[in-house]
Amino acid sequence: MTPMQQLYLLVPLAPLAGAILAGLFGRRIGRTASHVVTILGVAVAFVASLFIYQDVAAGNVFEGALYTWGRVGDLAFEVGFLIDSLTVTMMLVVSFVSLMVHIYTIGYMKDDPGYQRFFSYISLFTFSMLMLVMSNNFLQLFFGWEAVGLVSYLLIGFWYERPSAIYANLKAFLVNRVGDFGFLLGIGLVAAFAGSLNYAEVFAMAPELLDLTVPATGWPLLTAICICLFIGAMGKSAQVPLHVWLPDSMEGPTPISALIHAATMVTAGIFMVARISPLFELSPTALSFVLVIGATTALFMGLLGIVQNDIKRVVAYSTLSQLGYMTVALGVSAYSAAVFHLMTHAFFKALLFLAAGSVIIGMHHDQDMRNMGGLRKYMPVTWLTSLIGSLALIGLPLFSGFYSKDAIIEAVRHSQIPGAGYAAFCVLAGVFITAFYSFRMYFLVFHGEERFGHAPHDHHEDAADGHHHGLAPGQKPHESPWVVTVPLILLAIPSVLIGFVTIEPMLFASWFDDVIAVLPAHDSLAGLREEFHGAFGMALHGLMTAPFWLAAAGVVSAWALYLRFPQIPARIRARVEPLYTLLENKYYFDRFNEVVLAGGSRWLGRSLWRGGDQLLIDGLLVNGSARVVGWVAQAARLLQSGLLYQYAFWVIIGLVILLALWWPALRLGALS
Amino acid sequence: MMNNFPYLLSLAIWLPILGGLLTLCASAPRHAPLARQIGLAFALLGLAVTVPLYTGFDTASAAMQFVEHQSWIPYFNVHYSLGVDGISMPFVILNSFITVIVVVACWKSVQVRVAQYLAAFLIMSGLINGIFAAQDGVLFYVFFEASLIPLYLAIGIWGGERRVYAAIKFFLYTLAGSLLMLLAFIFFFQRSGSFDLAEWQALPLDLRSQTWVFWALFASFAVKVPMWPVHTWLPDAHVEAPTGGSVVLAAIALKLGAYGFLRFSLPVTPDAAQAMAPILIALSLVAVVYIGFVAIVQADMKKLVAYSSISHMGFVTLGFFIFNPLGMEGAIVQMISHGFVSAAMFLCIGVLYDRLHSRRIADYGGVVHVMPRFAALFMLFAMANAGLPGTSGFVGEFWVILGAVQHNFWVGFAAATTLILGASYTLWMYKRVIFGPLVKPAIQALSDLDRRELAMLGVLAACVLAMGLYPAPVAEVMHVSVEGLLSHVTAGKL
């Protein structure tokens, strides 16, 4: 193994070692040692990723197997690495955000009895996520896919005494399993028709698969493969209608909301589609499907963010909406823009979540924005970093979010693929919505009158479990300790700068050239590429375009409605009551799932059990045949009475019957 | 070469039986500790003699290995003939391993008739090794039927309240099937003049007689697996059986039916098997889907895991009858994995039952607060039961699903629903038992795993993880045998 290959191996294994140490021996080595080993593990992974980045930037790409997991017939199942520009981008994002979250956790979880367990989980997550992005084949991708799902399940249910948390984690796991169902079928089709699970080999086979159909269905093979795989991405990256688990996942501690449910795990689906772009490029149908799903998610999930009062849920719906933007980018074949937005979003959304967590610490675990207001004064660092995060999110020119979002909007405008018109409307309207809910949150939390310290307006359903304290009357919020604020600052820097610095190499130069395939006919970024004259020029130009003014309008509306004339929202709400109810109930997705899917399954299970197993099989066939045997025995017993005259009677009857049957035959015989 | 070491298989069969008879000598209640020690010693010894079967196995050969051949009843041309190939060898080891676990598991929970309990399980272990090793029809049949008796006794004597109903249901169900198998064997003997399995496999048969024989064999093996709709004895048997009985039943006894398909139905009646495959595939899918739904609504933990076993065995039969390497190897790997996972699941339920004497899910809740180690191990096994990658439960399911997609997309589609169903019933149960606030006083008094329980579950956890992360060593011993079987079946006899 070359030194470079050892370095590759070190990246996932260092966090794994930390996770094992903190997980198995956490109680013995204590709290401090637990966070030291895990942070060290992730830091090693980050530094190693930096070296690997240099190596990849110098033009070195690695593709190779670590070991053969199994082999059946001609199909080899391997565990191995593919290290290229896409991988190393993801490695840097994952390890950096994870490192920030690890440090932040020291402050956020400092009083929690599950401290070591938490560090073990988030390190295990980092390991799984790194294995996912570093994979060179579908098997390992699926391994990482499920492993991050497992850790997400464990972390959403981290506070397992809360009924809402263990409901949310089960829901998250099952909804993701629905996605995995499609994902696995996609992998099955790949294995059956390409005869390999290795990316490079499958991509090489792709042109030959173009004209095939799936037997027994008649579907074009590549479209079927891509849509099946994308269903997996819909689960993991929370696209409508498999998005329902993500808002509920906010039951988990805030650091993991930032790491798993905003920056990294939920972007696995985006990463996956970008990784296998050579397949998606060959199926315009699948791309249209992706586009429509993404556009729907981008707009309609953003709308839900407007009616939320829980600070984390606003950010969660914002995440859903932004994931929709990334999916839209995939749909118009702007894979590099999707990955670019994935990266900028990872920084500013992790920042927003961690800042929300800092607010929650300051508010003594009250998450209701109606109890906040005016926090700017008490939490200056949190305030400033939140503002930076929000500006990046709404796409203020020069901020990172501007570059990535503008690139997506431009790509959609240039795309010819069916559904692009609808998507263009959704992403543009989404800009206004994003700005509106972001600054609604910002104003409600950091500006206006101080509403904390009163009796809570709204008793949270699980207020009794001791996690939703809130501030006592007269108590003031306070700024969080440095372990919390330093990660905020460190995340704020890339939130501002990363777009400006990287847009040129990532979108317009050759960084992703050999990794992401785009057919010339699908190249929706071509227009933007021609107009591009430097990042600064793009920002200047951005000031004159519709998205900027839509965003500005959103900010101003939020300011007017929630700061200047706070009595108006209630009036609007009364005017559009049905719409509000629809949003409040999240379009009734949850109700439908609970009643029709979950309830239906239980009903079906009970009917099959009682009707099939107990009534039909056991009642009729098994015990029934036992009963028949019993009856026959009983009837036979009646015959054996021991009374001679009865026997004689039966003998005579028998004789008569026999004669009656044989008589014609005998007569016939006599005649002949 | 270890291959030349004689009598390994005989040792694997007769050592546990000898151990069982010896424990019976210590059957007085005051000798219970001695009986346990004898039992454990022989269980370990039995496992030790099976290790060379793996290390000395020639993976390049599809022929029977470690062969023993002696005349037994010359008049009927019956032989005491033993041997294992890549398909049966893993099960001899698995069975001997599970026996050790069963002996350790009963250390404290069985307090009445200890020696008899141990004797039943040790003797059963030897007989089951005999089933997997037998290369003669009569020998197979004798082991097959004899192994019923100890299990019947285990359920009928050490079982729960409705043990007699369950034991008789179990016995009659399986016996009825076996009689048809005996008829089939006699038919083979008439045709071939031999009870040698190898000769039966080469025996030319026309499609009509193959079909009759196929269904006769099916009656026996389908009940054992169990396949839908002859599965209803299993939940009853599991619920009433003592923990050890459930473990052996799930981990080993169910594999006998599946093994029968591999050893008899497929090779002896290959054309009938192919002709009837659509029916068998349909029944397997019904088991996966129908039983999956039924498992969701179970209120009794053991019943739930029993139904989940049926569903998992549906994958095994599905894998056999799609006739491709992925399906077949996946099915065999699934059988082995299910041996670990179902054993572990029943042991976990046994751990809870020992403490609270209830199997009802509703009686639990918040167990993680008082039994964190147990909760962690149980989580691993639950995830393996739900087929999470990285655990052994994933490997077989994954391969069978891949094989099924290759066979027919819709078959794969139906099979893949297990991803959702398996997670639903397993994790919903886990949630209700382990998570939640600690409110019930009885739960507050529970104590975490002791060292013996930790060792027992820890070993199983290691097996589950090892096989999930690196299944190649298990899979590669069976490659050649599976290839041979598949080419034999595809070639047919017509």
Residues B159-215 have pLDDT tens digits of 888 888 888 888 888 888 888 999 999 999 988 888 999 889 888 888 999 999 999
Token pair 């955000």 is found at A97
Reference A120, options A254, A31, A19, A39; nearest CA is A19
Q: How far, in Å, CA of B13 to CA of B36, rounded? A: 20
C-beta atoms of B390 and A147 within 8 A: yes
Cβ proximity of B476 and B90 under 8 Å: no
C-beta atoms of A73 and B325 within 8 A: yes
- Rounded to the nearest angstrom, the minimum Cα separation between A367 and chain B is 22
Extract the runs of DSSP E, i.e. beta strands, from B336-397. none
Contact list, A26 vs chain B (CB under 8 Å): none
DSSP assignment of A294-315: HHHHHHHHHHHHHT--BHHHHH
pLDDT attached to residue A529: 87
Reference B402, options A186, A476, A320; nearest CA is A186
C-beta atoms of B472 and A192 within 8 A: no
Q: How far, in Å, CA of B323 to CA of B266, rounded? A: 10
Residue A307, burial from CB neighbour count under 10 angstroms (0-12, 13-18, 19+): buried
Contact list, B369 vs chain A (CB under 8 Å): 161
C-beta atoms of A215 and B428 within 8 A: no
The 3-state DSSP class for residue B435 equals: coil
The whole-number average pLDDT for the span B47-69 is 88
Token pair 């030291």 is found at A36
- Rounded to the nearest angstrom, the minimum Cα separation between A79 and chain B is 10
Task: Please report whether residue A573 resides in a domain.
Answer: no
Tell whether A574 is within 8 A of chain B (Cβ): no
- Rounded to the nearest angstrom, the minimum Cα separation between A146 and chain B is 7
> How big is chain B, counted in residues?
494
pLDDT attached to residue A588: 87
Helix (H) or strand (E) segment spanning residue A10: helix A3-57
Residue in B295, B398, B436 closest to A161 by CB: B436
A599 with A511, same domain: the answer is no
Q: How far, in Å, CA of A327 to CA of A267, rounded? A: 10
Region for A367 from its dihedrals, namely left if φ exceeds 0, alpha if ψ lies in -120 to 50, beta otherwise: alpha
A590 with A528, same domain: the answer is no
Cβ proximity of B319 and B331 under 8 Å: yes
Q: How far, in Å, CA of A198 to CA of A191, rounded? A: 9
Residue A76 forms beta bridges with which residues?
A: A71
CB neighbours (10 Å) of residue B320?
26
Alpha-carbon torsion, ordered A452, A453, A454, A460, to 10 deg: 70
Residue in A162, A216, A605 closest to B293 by CB: A605
C-beta atoms of B405 and A617 within 8 A: no
Q: What is the DSSP letter of A78?
A: E
- Rounded to the nearest angstrom, the minimum Cα separation between A404 and chain B is 34
Q: How many separate domains does chain A show?
A: 3
Under 8 Å CB pairs connecting chains A and B tally to: 142
Residues with Cβ within 8 Å of A545's Cβ and at least 6 positions away in sequence, in order, are: A406
> How big is chain A, counted in residues?
672
pLDDT attached to residue A121: 94
Return the structure tokens found at A490.
């460190």
**Phi/psi at A81 (5° precision):** -115, 145
Residues with Cβ within 8 Å of A563's Cβ and at least 6 positions away in sequence, in order, are: A443, A447, A448
Task: Please report whether residue A470 resides in a domain.
Answer: no
Q: How far, in Å, CA of A389 to CA of A348, rounded? A: 5
A556 with A651, same domain: the answer is no
Reference B166, options A276, A622, A318; nearest CA is A622
Reference A276, options A232, A212, A313, A318; nearest CA is A232
Q: What is the DSSP letter of A242?
A: T
A484 with A618, same domain: the answer is no
A419 with A448, same domain: the answer is yes
- First CA to last CA distance, chain A: 101
Q: Which amino acid is at A632?
A: V
Contact list, B326 vs chain A (CB under 8 Å): 72-73, 75, 191
A212 with A296, same domain: the answer is yes
Return the structure tokens found at A451.
């509403």
A658 with A631, same domain: the answer is no
Q: Which amino acid is at A540?
A: L
Q: Which of residues 181-220 of A touch B (CB under 8 A)?
A: 181, 184-185, 187-189, 191-192, 214-217
Helix (H) or strand (E) segment spanning residue B79: strand B78-84
Tell whether A163 is within 8 A of chain B (Cβ): yes
C-beta atoms of B325 and A188 within 8 A: no
Instruction: Provide the domain limits for residue A649.
Output: 645-671
Residues with Cβ within 8 Å of B135's Cβ and at least 6 positions away in sequence, in order, are: B64, B67, B69, B79, B81, B82, B83, B196, B197, B198
Token pair 């700068």 is found at A497
pLDDT attached to residue A452: 82
A506 with A589, same domain: the answer is no
Residue in B294, B368, B369 closest to A605 by CB: B294
Q: Could you tell me the maximum CA-CA distance found in chain A, to the nearest angstrom?
A: 125
Residue in A147, A150, A157 closest to B435 by CB: A157
Task: Please report whether residue A277 resides in a domain.
Answer: yes
Task: Please report whether residue A393 resides in a domain.
Answer: yes
Cβ proximity of A96 and A491 under 8 Å: no
A619 with A535, same domain: the answer is no
Q: How far, in Å, CA of A182 to CA of A225, rounded? A: 9
Return the structure tokens found at A154.
């464990």
Helix (H) or strand (E) segment spanning residue B420: helix B418-434
Residue of chain A minimizing CA distance to B290: A608
- Rounded to the nearest angstrom, the minimum Cα separation between A614 and chain B is 8
Q: Which amino acid is at A60?
A: N
Residue in A177, A192, A609 closest to B419 by CB: A177
Residue B380 has pLDDT above 50, yes or no: yes
Q: What is chain A's Cα-based Rg?
A: 32
pLDDT attached to residue A469: 66
Contact list, A157 vs chain B (CB under 8 Å): 435
DSSP assignment of B284-332: HHHHHHHHHHHHHT-SBHHHHHHHHHHHHHHHHHHHHHTTSHHHHHHHH
Reference A134, options A240, A47, A62; nearest CA is A62
A354 with A418, same domain: the answer is yes
Q: How far, in Å, CA of B420 to CA of B399, rounded? A: 17
Residues with Cβ within 8 Å of A202's Cβ and at least 6 positions away in sequence, in order, are: A138, A190, A194, A196, A276, A279
- Rounded to the nearest angstrom, the minimum Cα separation between B473 and chain A is 8
Task: Please report whether residue A468 resides in a domain.
Answer: no
The whole-number average pLDDT for the span B136-143 is 92
Residue of chain B minimizing CA distance to A66: B470
Model confidence at B5, in pLDDT bands (50, 70, 90)? low
Q: Which of residues 71-90 of A touch B (CB under 8 A)?
A: 71-73, 75
**Parallel/antiparallel/unpaired status of strands B65-73 and A75-83:** unpaired
Half-sphere exposure of B80 (CA within 13 A, CB side): 9
Residues with Cβ within 8 Å of A487's Cβ and at least 6 positions away in sequence, in order, are: A100, A101, A103, A104, A354
Token pair 């899917």 is found at A597
pLDDT attached to residue B394: 94
Reference A281, options A86, A516, A515; nearest CA is A516
Give the torsion sign (CA, B94, B100, B106, B112): positive
C-beta atoms of A72 and B416 within 8 A: no
Residue B292 has pLDDT above 80, yes or no: yes
Task: Please report whether residue A664 resides in a domain.
Answer: yes
Task: Please report whether residue A208 resides in a domain.
Answer: yes
The series of mean pLDDT values per 10 residues for chain A, 672 residues long, is 89 94 90 93 96 92 90 90 94 94 92 92 95 94 94 93 92 94 95 92 91 88 94 93 92 91 92 94 94 94 91 93 95 93 94 93 88 89 94 93 93 91 94 94 91 61 51 83 92 93 88 87 87 88 91 93 88 87 87 88 89 83 80 81 83 88 73 62
The 3-state DSSP class for residue B445 equals: coil
- Rounded to the nearest angstrom, the minimum Cα separation between B79 and chain A is 35
Question: The pTM is what?
Answer: 0.92
**Phi/psi at A430 (5° precision):** -60, -30
Share of chain B above pLDDT 70, in %: 99
- Rounded to the nearest angstrom, the minimum Cα separation between B24 and chain A is 36
Q: Which of residues 589-618 of A touch B (CB under 8 A)?
A: 601-602, 604-606, 608-609, 612-613, 617-618
C-beta atoms of B416 and A184 within 8 A: yes
Contact list, A163 vs chain B (CB under 8 Å): 436-437
Residue of chain A minimizing CA distance to B369: A161
Token pair 């495959």 is found at B277
A521 with A662, same domain: the answer is no
A548 with A605, same domain: the answer is no
- Tell me, what's the ipTM? 0.91
- Rounded to the nearest angstrom, the minimum Cα separation between A463 and chain B is 14
Task: Please report whether residue A196 resides in a domain.
Answer: yes
Cβ proximity of A350 and A338 under 8 Å: no
C-beta atoms of A605 and B297 within 8 A: yes
Q: How far, in Å, CA of B487 to CA of B491, rounded? A: 6
The whole-number average pLDDT for the span B341-364 is 92
Q: How far, in Å, CA of B321 to CA of B475, rounded? A: 19
